[in-house]
Amino acid sequence: MTLQTILVDIDRRGVATLTLNRPDVHNAFDDKMIVAITGHLKKLDGDPDVRVVVLRGSGKSFSAGADLNWMKRTTQYSYQENLADANDLADMLWTLNRLSKPTMAVVQGAAYGGGVGLVATCDIVVASEQAKFRLSEARLGIMASVISPYVLAAIGESQARRYTL
């Protein structure tokens, strides 16, 4: 049996809940999950019965951002393959940011790196007292270039500098 990495539920009120479902890796996303999230968002956006989209994570974390195993694999990718991956991530964030329906992130536990990017693209964020937000890319020696415009828009230039340095 294969675990579904994205769960989608639409209730009778038109509330669509998109749940990241990789709790064993704190809902870290890889290339396949990014494409799946984007596809689901586009379907929900085009569904006239959907009034709002809620994004959440299963288990104890919202999202740890990019899956480190995927990131290791990308070190062997060609320039074109890396560019395609970056474009897919950018498309996912752009799609969520520009969704015609209101979006809400429900955050519990960790929201790290790209997980913060997902949160920054939502219209409303509800976080538990245990939620932790971290822009962890600098510690890994990488630039958070794809999520940076959304984080900057969400928290402002001064706070973005504070948390990314």
CA distance 133 to 135: 7
Q: Are 17 and 9 in contact, with CB atoms under 8 Å apart?
A: yes
Residue with tokens 């937000």: 133
Residue 8's alpha-carbon distances to 65, 85, 133, 152, in angstroms, are 19, 24, 24, 29
Cite the active site residues. Answer: 137
Q: Are 52 and 101 in contact, with CB atoms under 8 Å apart?
A: yes
Token pair of 139 as six digits = 């510690």
CA distance 135 to 147: 10
29 DSSP 8-state letter: B
